[in-house]
Amino acid sequence: MACSEAQPHLEEIRERGELRVLTRYGPTTYYVKGNELAGLEYELAERFATFLNVRLKIIVPENLGNMLTLIEQGKADIAAAGLTITPARKDLIRFGPVYQEVTEQLVYRNGNPIPQDITALNGQLEVVASSSHVEQLESYKQDIPELEWTENQQLDSSGLLELVQLEMIDYTIADSNEIAANQGLFPELRVAFDISEPRPLAWALPLSEDGSLYNEIVTFFAQLDQSGDLDRLIAKYYGHIRRFDYVDTRAFHHRILTDLPTYQPLFEQAAKQYGFDWRLLAAISYQESHWDPKAVSSTGVKGLMMLTQATAKQMNIDNREDPQQSIPAGAAYLAYIRENLPERIQEPDRTWLALAAYNIGLGHLEDARILTQKNGKNPDLWPDVKQILPLLGKKKWYEQTRYGYARGGEPVRYIENVRRYYDILLHELENSQAEKPALKLPPLITTPPAAL
């Protein structure tokens, strides 16, 4: 009797109705943001599950080594974890299309001597076990036999970056995207030098002659790239962290301890009333006034939320310098703007567009959205609109608009700063609540069915 052929991998996934994806916790992959799941890898995996019309199951192994073993053994369908393609890994697993490039970099702490190259290290170098960084160091070892390092089986790159920040180790190696995502959280980190050329990231699959799932992944990424959604997703997670201001970031960390406790109850109350995360309101307020209730700008806006006289009148308050009036008025005004945007605009773009209007005005935002559409982009997506906003300062473009000239680059920088402060608040406040542990996901999470 002839043996039946093995079921194609793709059909097996569709029959079980579930896509099993390995990933890891971290700001570049998969994490909790407020009360929601987020991360570039998570969102890509979620979209791919929808593309296949199945549920998404996320599995987080104990460490990177376990993840690579599990995918090699076919215990999951995909590993979506910011994995670098290396020759050694290609012998064991199959990689999908490249969707991003990173550079491996050596990190040290500000104030310590800057090593000029890999031969000049004077201290403890610790890296993630089973990582591509180990492979890179081993390639150096051939020419630099005295080079030594420790492989950490428990911590990921974010954990090792924190150890450098805390001066518990001298150096680590991390990918450039991870360093950028963590720099606001650990402002003392510095990059000494690159230890690799740009390297591609891709999803990993079990090594198999069956190409059914691989072909579907290729199709998925091709469509994502062609539509511009891949660039938008990368901009969503990295667009606001490209600029790093060391002095400002240190000052913000300090004021979280000294000033924020005074106003936190007011932010929480206003956020609950108007449907915001209170930490977002706090981030907006810091960007506006650095939490100084007496702040006044050259244009006459005042208070913690830097309200104009017209806005104060519209929100029915008489003292912009009173935090008990300014904070709820600012939240109410932002909610008013958000509600007046077209209903079809979804979150988080809805909030970012509302915040742009909070900064520059609804009229100028609408001008930018019209120009966005004229330029073949989506006026309902913040990553598209923010590319066009700076054009409002150029005569060729503002002459085409109803409301005319505006400093359109300001709301772009404004929102980048707000998002950076918001990310820091999420990290600092969750990690500082000793009486209430920070929200952590269990190793296995299943999201609700998508598009079934």
State pLDDT tens for residues 53-63: 999 999 999 89
Give me the pLDDT at residue 253, please: 85
Question: Does 68 lie in the same domain as 37?
Answer: yes
The CATH number for 286's domain is 1.10.530.10
- For residue 242, name the pLDDT band (cuts at 50, 70, 90): low
Query: How many independent structural domains does the chain possess?
Result: 3
Question: Does 214 lie in the same domain as 189?
Answer: no
Average pLDDT over all residues of the chain: 88
Burial bucket for residue 316 (CB in 10 Å: 0-12, 13-18, 19+): exposed
Question: Does 395 lie in the same domain as 427?
Answer: yes
Whether 333 has a pLDDT exceeding 70, the answer reads yes
Burial bucket for residue 172 (CB in 10 Å: 0-12, 13-18, 19+): buried
Between 35 and 3, residue with greater pLDDT: 35
Judge contact between 351 and 290, C-beta under 8 A. no
> Within a domain: residue 272?
yes
| pTM (two decimals) | 0.65
Tell me which amino acid residue 315 is: M
The CATH number for 37's domain is 3.40.190.10
DSSP bridge partners of 206: 93
The domain containing residue 124 runs over which residues?
104-196
Question: Does 181 lie in the same domain as 50?
Answer: no
Burial bucket for residue 85 (CB in 10 Å: 0-12, 13-18, 19+): middle
Question: Does 374 lie in the same domain as 349?
Answer: yes
Question: Does 299 lie in the same domain as 184?
Answer: no
Whether 214 has a pLDDT exceeding 70, the answer reads yes
> Within a domain: residue 449?
no
Mean pLDDT value across residues 378-400: 92
> How far is the C-alpha of 166 from the C-alpha of 109, rounded, in Å?
9
> Within a domain: residue 4?
no
Rounded to 10°, the helix 229-238/176-183 angle is 50
Any idea which residues carry the catalytic annotation? 288
DSSP bridge partners of 205: 94
Give me the pLDDT at residue 306, please: 93
Between 400 and 249, residue with greater pLDDT: 400
Give me the pLDDT at residue 212, please: 94
Taking only the tens place, the pLDDT of each residue in 269-291 is: 999 999 999 999 999 999 999 99
> How far is the C-alpha of 264 from the C-alpha of 86, rounded, in Å?
47
- For residue 34, name the pLDDT band (cuts at 50, 70, 90): low
Peptide bond into 187 cis (omega under 30): no
> How far is the C-alpha of 315 from the C-alpha of 322, rounded, in Å?
14
Domain-terminating residue out of 196, 222, 254:
196
User: Which residues, including other chains, have CB under 8 Å from residue 107's CB and lie 6 or more apart?
Assistant: 161, 164, 171, 172, 173, 174, 179, 189, 190, 191, 192
Mean pLDDT value across residues 416-438: 70
> Within a domain: residue 438?
no
- For residue 226, name the pLDDT band (cuts at 50, 70, 90): confident
Tell me which amino acid residue 68 is: L
Tell me which amino acid residue 364 is: H
